[in-house]
Amino acid sequence: MTLITIYMKKSLFFTFLMFSGFISVSFCQTIPADYEKALWPGFRTAAVSYTFDDGCSNQFAIAMPMFDEFGFKTTLFTVTDWVTDWKNLTDAAANGHEIANHTKSHLHLNELTVLQQSEELVSSTNLINEKIPGQKCITMAYPFCAVGNDSLCKALYIAVRGCQGSVEAKTPASFMNVSSIICGELGSVKTAANFQTQLKTATSRSGWVVYLIHGIDNDGGYSPLSSETLRT
């Protein structure tokens, strides 16, 4: 990030360490001497985001109460065709969690025409905006990490999450493909120590680590993560 403090509120995918803040960007203004520039909210040294994909059942039964207990907010990337109970999502939104887009039917966007991609993204974004009061859907995550049409994504979202498996720099190379790290049995982050290692890397670089979580315990989700590990 450049110039002056950039805090983000509209998208919790962009809510950084300790999960709070607001956008405040100044251009061509004189900064009073009493003010100091900050890279991250609260002059913290790094940023971390917890993102959840696919709406797996234990995300709502276990993970959301856990994060609410500690006052941390998450992003729930939602496949709208898979939603069987919007109340889970409206309740999460009411507690400050971001409800974001994971497309309509979880297809490989890179195998679709631009028109087909638009149908996947626009309909699901509109449905989320209709079902979730008080929020606007402005971020998306690529299913299967398959990158979609850049121009289309830029027209619909302020940022899109990929899954390159690395800690981002303080300013991502592309906000249309922000890196995340897959957690759980099939990911590189399996233990509490792995979480800490990635966070230490982000801290050493003044960077941003985005954790990507699917299943919790035995709910049938991809790459399940132990709830005990998540709490630790």
Return the pLDDT at 43: 82
Eight-class DSSP state of 220: S
**Averaged pLDDT for residues 25-42:** 60
pTM of the model: 0.86
Residue 147, both tokens: 């990158």
Alpha helices in the chain (DSSP H): 57-58, 64-70, 86-94, 114-131, 150-156, 192-205, 227-231
- Return the H-helix or E-strand segment holding 181: strand 181-182
Q: Count of CB atoms within 10 A of residue 194's CB?
A: 16
**Averaged pLDDT for residues 124-138:** 96
Tell me if 10 sits within 8 A of 179, measured CB to CB: no
DSSP assignment string, 130-154:
HHSTT----EEE-GGG----HHHHH
Reported as a pLDDT band with limits 50, 70 and 90, residue 36 is low
pLDDT higher than threshold 80 for residue 138: yes
Return the pLDDT at 12: 60
> How much of the chain, in percent, has pLDDT values that exceed 90?
79
Question: How many Å apart are CA 194 and CA 167, to the nearest integer?
Answer: 13
Eight-class DSSP state of 30: P
